[in-house]
Amino acid sequence: MAEYEYVLTETRGNVGIVTFNRPDALNALNEQVAQEVTDALLAFDADHSIGCMVLAGGDKAFCAGADLKWIASQDFESAYLTDLAAYMDKVTACRKPVIAAVRGFAFGGGTEISLMCDMIIADTTAQFGLTEVTLGVIPGAGGPARITRAVGKAKAMYYVLTGKTFGAEEAERIGMITAVVEDGTHLDEALKIASRIAANPRLAVLAGKESVNQQAETPLIPGLKLERRLFHGLFSTPDQKEGMAAFAEKRKPDYRKY
């Protein structure tokens, strides 16, 4: 397994565990974190001894979203040229199941990463939310596309357009997550499920995941491409600059009136 700066990896039997390890920034995403998390999961996916993966965070945060110091500096040209936020789409290319074990904050990109996983187990402290609209952009890592498929258009529209945060109980009620468990038991429960999956015949598990995704995600790609281009374009707006600056300066944003 490769050496990483911002993720930890371990195995328990035939389950591979990838853990965000940037606690000083509440596991916030930047380009390197996104790449390391993705690459670690893909490495386990290619390991014939592994039958299932678990993606976990820390006690305070699973992943608090994008690192504002990194993402606020983007403009349309840089976002479009680098295809900002596209790298983690590779998580969904994993043929083996990936289970998100969520505790604490999972805002913005944190919610999007959890939605890339095949199951989400969250404890009672978990907090989700696609909050990007409050910063003058939209989620750009699959959030609108995947939450719509998970909870339906009406509820997805509400969460994407309000930026409202919500707890694990609400996430379970609307069908976004697999289960909510007692405080601190999220990883144990995720590992229990992962071990049960990994003990099943490998080809049947791969085929089962592929068949469910085929029904749930077709046609996902055109929606993702449109979403990402809109996301990139919003980095050229005054509202994006103001929203992210206000967040960093801990003040109320003063948006343009159109």
* Residue 79 designated active-site: no
Among the listed residues 109, 136, 140, 243, the single catalytic one is 109
Residue 161 Cα to chain centre, angstroms: 18
Point out the catalytic residue in the list 25, 104, 112, 142. 112
| Catalytic residue status for 189 | no
Give residues with Cβ within 8 angstroms of 236, minimum separation 6: 75, 76
For 139-198, the DSSP string reads --SSHHHHHHHHH-HHHHHHHHHH---EEHHHHHHTTSSSEEESTT-HHHHHHHHHHHHH
DSSP 66: B
For residue 155 the two structure tokens come to: 């509820």
User: Among 66, 79, 145, 171, which one carries the catalytic annotation?
Assistant: 66
Structure tokens at 146: 């995947």
Q: Which DSSP state fits 231?
A: H
Chain Cα centroid distance, residue 111: 5
Give, in order, the Cα–Cα distances in Å from 44 to each of 11, 16, 228: 9, 6, 27
From 132, 156, 194, 243, the catalytic residue: 132
Are 100 and 117 a contacting pair, CB within 8 Å? yes
Asked if 132 is an active-site residue, the reply is yes
Catalytic residue numbers read 66, 109, 112, 132
